[in-house]
Structure 1
Amino acid sequence: MVEEKEATIETETERNWADLLPELFPLILKNLCDISDFIRYRAVCKTWCLSSSISDLPPQFPWIVKVSEGPNLEFYSIALKKLYTIRSRCSSDKSLLGSTGSYMLTKQYGKPDSYSLLNPVSNSEVPLPVLHVCNLIWFPRMFTWYNPLSFQRDDYVFNTEMERLDGCKLDDDRWNIIRAGGRGSQYRCYYFKDLFFRVDSYNEFTKVMDSSSHKELYDIPPPKYKKTYEKSLRGPYLVESCGEILSVSHNHSYEWTNFKFSIHRLEFGNGKRNPCWVELSSIGDRILFFEITETFGRGFSLRVSDFTEFKGNCIYFINRLQALQSGYLHMYDIENSKTILIDTPFAPFDLKNHINHITWFMPTLKLI
């Protein structure tokens, strides 16, 4: 009887997690690299939750998400090879349109101008200001984000192929409109560091405009490609990477299984000469992430130093070209010019089958 009582007391003591020595909390947090483990840690009890800050969560390797109507969303962690199902707060009167960094873009049924950003991980939602100056049919397609690790409100912008960019700073509860001259559908538009870039789809010249003064600063000739890149060349797509602007183009084999990428860095020349593109044979310890369709290429960049289990100098890309109807995930080894198909729950190896619409998602608990 005494032994049973002692065992009961010992069990109760072991389960009293709130009495854990405070000096042990940092040791536990140090080993919680995945956001799912971090969330479980904070859910143990109030003491554990207060012992940690959202800023304690290390950078997360991007997930891929299968876009669906919800409410259950499926996410796949490439790093851990785990599939997560998260029930979104999106009610029956809203539809999920796709991922924009760490948020899902949602639209309310029956209200064509009612959009919001939903973070299914933190269960937070941010309404977007109403946009009156363009055809909203393009909004889900052209709404995007940049600089994913900062998670700032003004990283979210709306840019169209109609030679204008609509930038939104959510803390102002309005859209800051930037116009760049006449209209036309031949431009791919990008926004980096308060600069507005327009890549002409016909001659591949890049026009650079200051977003504050609306002054056009440069008209940059296209990169010079090697002959091996000329056939079936797609792009260029621009991406900001560690403070640099990179131009990325690619071609592919007839079977759409092998790709070859061409990467150039924009050199501004310290104002002494017109900026130009310089070819790169390596991007060092960086990893580029792209989602490529027929009309645009969205990209972002991370440093491999934050993810020791991965190697740098490579490109992860979701191929959503029409030839495949939807998307497969590939990894391109820049050094060896080798394309590897990444196995995921969303993309079977049979390239003839229709597969789910997948896109990148940056898991975070931070609020924008």
Structure 2
Amino acid sequence: MPVLTEDKWSQLPPELLHLICRKLPDTGNFIQFRAVCTSWQDGAPLSDPPPQLPWILEHRGPKLQARRHLRFYSHSSGKMYCVCGGGRSSWLLGSGAFEGHVIAIVDLAKTMLYNPFTSEVQALRPAPYKPWLDGVFHVVCDGGTGCMVVNTCTITRHFAYCRPGMDAGWNIFDERKDMSHGTYNGGRFFVNTVSKTTLIIDADTRGVETIVPAPSKENFTTALGDYLVASHGKILRALQYPRDGNQAASASDYYFNVYQLDMLDGKTGRWRKIETIGNAALFFDHHGHGFSLEPNDAAGLRRDCIYFMHKKRMWVRFCNYRSLCRYSIHDGRVDKTMSLANKLGDTWVVPNLCCANE
């Protein structure tokens, strides 16, 4: 059988190149694929990378550390990736990350939105409350207008957001001090409160449109996690519990109850328990945030599953035992897909290879 010359490889039809790159298991392989030649680069645009498991961000710890690089673990390829952060900076990566960006707090004075894959940096206005140094930042997608940064204070329960490059500063929901983590979809925030109700808030007017009661039959006293996530245009709420009613000791000791938000007359909402999330996989991080992705055979994703991280304190070794777990909504089974290093498992980031202004 004759060996194909380099010229013949470069002449593969674009539709075939597209099919091949969609089956690549990892963003690193996608970048290598595009580097082969010009025709392969044209057949694999940066705006259309293959779907994959998100990368797990290395936990930086509670203190500022001088580092010039970030480290990520790709479960799809089983590799660690090191991304250079540019000049000398101190990065505090204890906040949520998504949409290809992470939040960096430099010298406790400046807050930045940073894309480690494109080196794009956007300075953010200082957080409106000093106690928000103990808060959680979250990056979400605001449709075609780019990214939105949400900041929730874990102490004062204040809640605010900003659109980098568009707004003059933070939009603050100052009239309420009982809001926890939430999600964003279609110009609205969906936020759980301390009383376990759910607020539907217009992002432009900051007005509360609807207050949805908590699921009536749920026991929140033993819940280990309460997540809101937008999935295929639907708003889902997942409550995480230990099977024996106490603190879960192992990865198999968890189960989830999943609810879907139904709007009855456009103004009244209720949570309806569901037994499947269809062709979707949910991801929850250590900070209470969640997002949805479609399964991809190359990445090993399974539909109708929840991916979460289990952390257990090992007092003998004075370290944390971490593992990435997968909960099947269909049969309630928990699989530990892999063990994580002590510094991994804090949050996720989905590699974004395009700048926000492209």
TM-score range, shorter chain: 0.7 to 0.9
Distance of 1:304 and 1:204 partners within structure 2:
31
Q: Post-superposition shift, 1:204?
A: 1.1
Q: Post-superposition shift, 1:321?
A: 7.5
**Counterparts in 2 of 1:45 and 1:181: CA distance versus 1, 3 Å:** same
Q: Does 1:275 align with 2:275?
A: no
TM-score w.r.t. structure 1 length?
0.77
Aligned-partner residue type, residue 297 of structure 1: G
Q: Does 1:211 align with 2:199?
A: no
**Counterparts in 2 of 1:151 and 1:96: CA distance versus 1, 3 Å:** farther
1:152-193 superposed Cα distances (whole Å, 9 cap, x missing partner) = 6234322335454322212316334132514x3x42142423
Instruction: Select 2:216's aligned residue among 218, 224, 230.
Output: 224
1:104-137 superposed Cα distances (whole Å, 9 cap, x missing partner) = 322323xx332223333x3322222222521265
Instruction: Select 1:366's aligned residue among 332, 354, 357.
Output: 354
Instruction: Select 1:91's aligned residue among 87, 90, 93.
Output: 87
Q: Does 1:31 align with 2:20?
A: yes
8 A Cα contact 2:54 2:351, kept in partner: yes
Note the 1:102-121 alignment, pairs <5 A.
102-109=100-107, 112-120=108-116
Distance of 2:20 and 2:88 partners within structure 1:
39
8 A Cα contact 1:67 1:97, kept in partner: yes
1:174 corresponds to: 168
TM-score w.r.t. structure 2 length?
0.79
Instruction: Select 2:192's aligned residue among 195, 199, 211.
Output: 199
2:73 corresponds to: 76
Q: Post-superposition shift, 1:289?
A: 0.4
% of aligned pairs identical? 23
Aligned-partner residue type, residue 309 of structure 2: I
Q: Post-superposition shift, 1:243?
A: 0.8
Aligned-partner residue type, residue 81 of structure 2: T
**Counterparts in 2 of 1:66 and 1:305: CA distance versus 1, 3 Å:** closer
Distance of 1:173 and 1:309 partners within structure 2:
39
8 A Cα contact 1:163 1:180, kept in partner: no
2:310 corresponds to: 319
Gaps of 5+ in 1: 1-10, 348-353
**Counterparts in 2 of 1:136 and 1:90: CA distance versus 1, 3 Å:** farther
**Counterparts in 2 of 1:63 and 1:275: CA distance versus 1, 3 Å:** same
Instruction: Select 2:240's aligned residue among 250, 255, 263.
Output: 250
Q: Post-superposition shift, 1:266?
A: 0.8
2:329 corresponds to: 334
Note the 1:288-307 alignment, pairs <5 A.
288-292=282-286, 296-304=287-295
Aligned-partner residue type, residue 343 of structure 1: M
**Counterparts in 2 of 1:159 and 1:174: CA distance versus 1, 3 Å:** farther
Distance of 2:144 and 2:325 partners within structure 1:
26
Distance of 1:164 and 1:170 partners within structure 2:
20
Q: Which has the higher contact order (CA 8 A, sep 6+)?
A: 2
Distance of 2:165 and 2:273 partners within structure 1:
39
**Counterparts in 2 of 1:336 and 1:174: CA distance versus 1, 3 Å:** same
1:350 corresponds to: none
Aligned residues: 334
Q: Post-superposition shift, 1:304?
A: 2.1
2:280 corresponds to: 286
2:228 corresponds to: 238
8 A Cα contact 1:238 1:247, kept in partner: yes
Distance of 1:191 and 1:281 partners within structure 2:
21
8 A Cα contact 2:102 2:115, kept in partner: yes
Aligned-partner residue type, residue 315 of structure 1: I
8 A Cα contact 2:229 2:290, kept in partner: yes
**Greater strand proportion:** 2
Based on CA coordinates, which of the two structures has the bigger radius of gyration?
Answer: 1
2:32 corresponds to: 40
What SS does the aligned partner of 1:92 have? strand
Distance of 2:187 and 2:297 partners within structure 1:
27
Gaps of 5+ in 2: none
